[in-house]
Chain A
Amino acid sequence: MNTVIESLQQFLQYTGFANMTWQHIVMIFIGIAFITVAIKKDWEPLLLVPIGFGMIIGNIPFTEGLQIGIYEEGSVMNILYQGVRQGWYPPLIFLGIGAMTDFSSLISQPRLLLIGAAAQIGIFGAYIVAMLLGFTPAESGAIGIIGGADGPTAIFLSSKLAPDLMGAIAVSAYSYMALVPVIQRPIMLLLTTKKERLIRMKTPRTVSQKEKIIFPIVGFILTALIVPSGMPLLGMLFFGNLLKESGVTKRLAETARGPLIDVVTILIGVTVGCSTQADVFLTATSVKIFFLGLMSFVIATTCGVLFAKFMNLFCKEGNKINPLIGNAGVSAVPDAARVSQNVGREFDPKNHLLMHAMAPNVAGVIGSAVAAGILLSFLG
């Protein structure tokens, strides 16, 4: 009888209930909140559902030594986590993004590339403030990249520069990407006049297939020569786009933008969520990272809108840019462009800005990968 009781007691010590702390409970609730927001509000469900559930998985307490935790070498979760830790997943996601993105809008209006460049100032604004708050340059660079509004790039850079902050950085980046409509709209309204919001942009010209094929090849060669450290992201992005536009690799393009990106999204979401174990995640540092992430988003949006207004100073009448597309300079594709479209239609229901906004939006993807490459070459 005693043996049975002792065995039961021993078993109870192994259960999650016995090892649960309030921090674990908080993290499980945050995970449930992510899932709820994704389902109820439809905010980035493809990312928030895996991350939210990953948070729940990662915060079930267990006794160490059973090789089940994400930080236990050789465990299944640990092996899957290597894709994040070593930076394999982000380039694969970029391959899928390249294969699903139509760059026609950018090719037909290359001047809008500059808005994508201006929005990257958010990254470096956050970098300076992070330095002032006492983070090291490497940590500041990893935190600043949240302002690029690009989850894979944030994971790629933080895995190299500050792996201990990666969980907080990734969750912060994806959370703010989900909140793009909430964060950007008031800034856009604050910085533009009613007259500017009504500007109708010229219809972009038709882009030939030859241009679409040349675009990824030239784009990659030029950007990679300037910033070779951004090669994994830029290479896969432009390669994916070439698969799409070449017209002869439809199967590969379909795989890249379909099953491949879906598999990697599942793995990256679950493992990033799982890596937010309470003892690593619930710290004052994470709170600072969330604050800096929000700040970098605000600076990026502000710079994008203001730069569009600045460009208008040099544009002839009839060729002006509606500054409502400035917010799309961040690389949250296509959510930021949708915000431009929706805000634009609030003031003129017949003014469709989506196609125009897609240009700075995809320029933002290129710009944030270039910015990540620069930070990596300085600090990595």
Chain B
Amino acid sequence: MNPSMLLQVSESVILKSAEMAEKDPHGMIITLVSVSVVFLALIILYFAYTLIGRTVNRTIDWKGLICRKTQTAGNDMPSPEETAAIALALDQELNGETYAAIGVALHRYLNDTVHDNESYIITIKRKKS
């Protein structure tokens, strides 16, 4: 079978393409509109995630659960960037299992799941004796 038989474009594509070639022969309009829409979509996401980030963190803060131990755990601990870079270097040199192990460790470290979360709220409760 001739490949061209199988690789035919649908009729709607042909029609729309011809229409666009007539309306916008240099492709400038479609470019301007498309770039604007891409930016618009990602700008909306930017605002959405900024808002969500603030709202969620405020909620957690209010509960006294926010914990930034990954940044303040001690000067001798590597920064998240360094840890990620170590994982990258090992990925290139070692096998996938090592990478996976480091990935899991990194994930837990960045999510602070290896530490206990402290509320930093001191309470005094009378102990029943």
- Using known A-B contacts A223-B45, A277-B3, A341-B85, determine if residue A138 contacts B17 with beta carbons closer than 8 Å: yes
- Interface size grouping (class) on chain A: 35 or more
Within 8 A of A (CB), among B1-35: 1-10, 12-14, 16-18, 20-21, 24-28, 30-31, 33-35
A117, A363, A380: the one within 8 Å of B16 (CB): A380
Q: How many residues of B contact A (CB 8 A)?
A: 61
- Please report the C-alpha to C-alpha distance between residue A106 and residue B45 in the assembled complex, in whole angstroms: 11
User: Within the complex, what minimum Cβ distance (angstroms) separates B30 from chain A?
Assistant: 6
Write the chain A residue with the least CB distance to B21: A137
A227 touches B3 (CB 8 A): no
A114 touches B34 (CB 8 A): no
> Does A204 reach chain B (CB closer than 8 Å)?
yes
Contacts of A128 in B (CB 8 A): 26-28, 31
Stretch at the interface among A17-25, A87-95, A159-167: A159-167
B9 touches A137 (CB 8 A): no
- Please report the C-alpha to C-alpha distance between residue A114 and residue B84 in the assembled complex, in whole angstroms: 23
A136 touches B42 (CB 8 A): no
Contacts of B12 in A (CB 8 A): 380
- Using known A-B contacts A132-B26, A138-B9, A355-B80, determine if residue A206 contacts B112 with beta carbons closer than 8 Å: yes
Write the chain A residue with the least CB distance to B31: A124
User: Within the complex, what minimum Cβ distance (angstroms) separates A222 from chain B?
Assistant: 6
User: Within the complex, what minimum Cβ distance (angstroms) separates A132 from chain B?
Assistant: 7
User: Within the complex, what minimum Cβ distance (angstroms) separates B63 from chain A?
Assistant: 11
B45 touches A110 (CB 8 A): yes
B1, B85, B107: the one within 8 Å of A354 (CB): B85
> Does A215 reach chain B (CB closer than 8 Å)?
yes
A102, A110, A279: the one within 8 Å of B46 (CB): A110
Contacts of B40 in A (CB 8 A): 226
Tell me if B's interface is mostly helix, strand, loop or mixed.
Answer: helix
B27 touches A131 (CB 8 A): yes
User: Within the complex, what minimum Cβ distance (angstroms) separates A330 from chain B?
Assistant: 13
Chain B 97-113, CB-CB to A under 8 Å as 1, else 0, gives 00000000001001110
Within 8 A of A (CB), among B39-61: 39-46, 48-50, 52-53, 56-57, 60
B84 touches A354 (CB 8 A): yes
Tell me if A's interface is mostly helix, strand, loop or mixed.
Answer: helix
A378 touches B39 (CB 8 A): no
Contacts of B56 in A (CB 8 A): 208, 210-211, 214
B10, B16, B21, B44: the one within 8 Å of A222 (CB): B44
- Please report the C-alpha to C-alpha distance between residue A73 and residue B68 in the assembled complex, in whole angstroms: 60
Stretch at the interface among A3-11, A186-194, A286-294, A365-373: A365-373
B6, B27, B35, B52: the one within 8 Å of A120 (CB): B35
User: Within the complex, what minimum Cβ distance (angstroms) separates B59 from chain A?
Assistant: 8
> Does A241 reach chain B (CB closer than 8 Å)?
no
- Using known A-B contacts A64-B1, A127-B30, A378-B20, determine if residue A161 contacts B45 with beta carbons closer than 8 Å: no
B30 touches A378 (CB 8 A): yes
> Does A62 reach chain B (CB closer than 8 Å)?
no
Contacts of A166 in B (CB 8 A): 7
- Please report the C-alpha to C-alpha distance between residue A110 and residue B42 in the assembled complex, in whole angstroms: 9
Write the chain A residue with the least CB distance to B39: A117
Contacts of A199 in B (CB 8 A): none
> Does B88 reach chain A (CB closer than 8 Å)?
yes
B111 touches A215 (CB 8 A): no
> Does B82 reach chain A (CB closer than 8 Å)?
yes
- Please report the C-alpha to C-alpha distance between residue A308 and residue B69 in the assembled complex, in whole angstroms: 30
A211 touches B35 (CB 8 A): no
> Does A182 reach chain B (CB closer than 8 Å)?
no
A73, A127, A371: the one within 8 Å of B27 (CB): A127
- Using known A-B contacts A116-B42, A222-B45, determine if residue A370 contacts B30 with beta carbons closer than 8 Å: no
Contacts of B111 in A (CB 8 A): 206-207, 209
What is the interface of chain A, defined by CB distance below 8 A to chain B? 64, 69, 71-73, 78, 85, 102, 104, 106-108, 110-111, 113-114, 116-117, 120-121, 123-125, 127-128, 130-132, 136-140, 160-164, 166, 203-211, 214-215, 218-219, 222-223, 226-227, 277, 279-280, 338, 341, 345, 352-356, 363, 366-367, 370-371, 374-375, 378-380
- Can you report 15 A-B residue pairs in the complex whose CB atoms are below 8 A from each other? A71-B1, A72-B1, A73-B1, A85-B6, A128-B31, A163-B7, A206-B70, A206-B110, A222-B44, A226-B40, A279-B3, A352-B79, A374-B37, A380-B12, A380-B16
4 nearest CB pairs, A to B: A352-B81, A138-B17, A110-B49, A124-B31
